[in-house]
Structure 1
């Protein structure tokens, strides 16, 4: 049996190939994928950092797949062929992928026909949980992409006043639609600080989420955090070391949380919780999937994720 899969054959080059279809081992399921999200964490591989080798395995590094169970391995009793599911897999830029049965979450009928890249939605829910956001708090979110938009929605629905900060006018419009009370252009460092001081009566923010992954937004996020507040690092800092103003952090007595989970069980729990929120109508992620590409155009989807033109939040690819 064979299938089509996208292969990153060299930096910034993705080709569609016919490859052998995988088969599930004991405790695994085979998924016939409806689609997979394109993640910004894949950009170092796409750009060609020196520690990667090419060609990459077929379907890699797709990890945001959803679809239907096509076959089950020995010992799998909780899932049946035909079940529609979201899953944590690792080669999902393909027609089929393998997943451990423990990393698969069934989708309810209320989500029929809805794109469901579970991993980024679960990631957002897990980050939100670690923020400890409650009613009446002022929350600054630095960076409004897909993740920042979901967090804006969750924080505003929790009763917080959200200040959304982004360099793109389109992203600020998305933040307002997601419940942000205030939006600020990420242009002038000191102007942002002064405006947040004005909005908070000088107290700054109880919670600040940095969702960009660069030095300046991290610096800004630290300065926006008020005394005894919590700074939550949600951005992917993959391009080297960072410097922080430890004197200020000490003086203000802030808590700093690295919100990136590394326990697969927590990933799956986040996916499960995100599915529940979507089925209840609490979270509507559909408007955030702004671009769709067929599988043979994965390279375009990755390049758009890299350049982030106005009007773009997140891409998905479909077989």
Structure 2
């Protein structure tokens, strides 16, 4: 580690999942960056729906978790750099792909860290989900004049609505909650449909497209029914993009229909770290340029010691909820 540092303490606060549905806030040793790593003094971390399976008590989970575990949407200021790091210095404001960001500090590989420009100073920047949105959009191959249906308007679906509209597409937003449909309209959706009746939705999309159905359909819920629905409203030789988080068990698909229609089916989840980071870089450019403004989508903020409530609200989605951020308050 270099001698430069912003830290005046050798401990930090970090949350552990103590048991299913239970957290503990602990004082733990400050992590030291190894070769090629930076340490980030976190300003905040987004709460991801992928946390809900371990929060509920998955069979494969071990409790208590490591300090800060499951947090992977952090941003903050570099406060120490490890041996061999170039391109980053203490004081740089960054977003990073790290994995223990429900804490006041976290380590990240320098190669998985992206600088934030001065124009984003003071603005939250959960890089991982913003980068995911950019990568899903890229793989959707949306072209001007196409009809794009987005099934599920949460944080991700709302971002994709804006990106698709900006690309010149006609956007049909389909979601369960009236609040989400309001957000979709604000993000540029041309048409909105309440997600309540499977066959009625299909008929409505047919009506809106002259019976052709949608050129591109992005499924952003992560459940069986929305996946079924998304396939049903994709036109012949259209593209079905699976962006929902399908990690709670097997899925069934209507392969006969997929085959008959000649659908291109894209699993838009990335696993290549370089692609992840490129998505974050694209998100930085989009937000800094004003092309994308996620600020209205950060609907709920919580202090670190209320991560349990943030997770419960992410699960229960009370009225007006879209995206939770945990913010690091060091004033206490």
Same fold (TM over 0.5): yes
In the alignment of these two chains, the number of paired residues is 319
Match of 1:107 among 100, 106, 116: 116
1:136 aligns with 2:139: no
In the other structure, the counterpart of 2:45 is 36
**Whole-Å Cα distance in 2 between the matches of residues 236 and 25 of structure 1?**
32
In the other structure, the counterpart of 1:14 is 23
In the other structure, the counterpart of 1:51 is 60
- Residue 112 of structure 1 and its aligned partner are, at CA, apart by 0.6
Q: Segments of 4+ in structure 1 off by > 3 A?
A: none
Aligned to 2:149, what secondary structure does the other structure show?
strand
Match of 1:80 among 51, 67, 89: 89
The gaps in structure 1 that reach 5 residues or longer are none
Aligned to 1:237, what secondary structure does the other structure show?
coil
Aligned to 1:179, what secondary structure does the other structure show?
coil
The gaps in structure 2 that reach 5 residues or longer are 1-9
- Residue 318 of structure 1 and its aligned partner are, at CA, apart by 1.2
In the other structure, the counterpart of 2:194 is 185
**Whole-Å Cα distance in 2 between the matches of residues 307 and 94 of structure 1?**
24
In the other structure, the counterpart of 2:7 is none
- Residue 232 of structure 1 and its aligned partner are, at CA, apart by 0.3
- Residue 77 of structure 1 and its aligned partner are, at CA, apart by 1.7
**Whole-Å Cα distance in 2 between the matches of residues 232 and 310 of structure 1?**
27
What root-mean-square deviation, in Å, do the aligned CA atoms of Structure 1 and Structure 2 show? 0.5
Match of 1:171 among 147, 169, 180: 180
Match of 1:256 among 258, 265, 276: 265
Aligned to 2:215, what secondary structure does the other structure show?
strand
1:3 aligns with 2:17: no
1:200 aligns with 2:209: yes
Aligned to 2:28, what secondary structure does the other structure show?
strand
- Residue 239 of structure 1 and its aligned partner are, at CA, apart by 1.5
In the other structure, the counterpart of 2:134 is 125
In the other structure, the counterpart of 2:322 is 313
Match of 2:285 among 249, 254, 276: 276
**Whole-Å Cα distance in 2 between the matches of residues 163 and 108 of structure 1?**
33
**Whole-Å Cα distance in 1 between the matches of residues 154 and 196 of structure 2?**
16
1:89 aligns with 2:98: yes
Q: TM-score by structure 1 length?
A: 0.99
- Residue 177 of structure 1 and its aligned partner are, at CA, apart by 0.2
**Whole-Å Cα distance in 2 between the matches of residues 15 and 297 of structure 1?**
10
- Residue 309 of structure 1 and its aligned partner are, at CA, apart by 1.4
Match of 1:302 among 297, 311, 315: 311
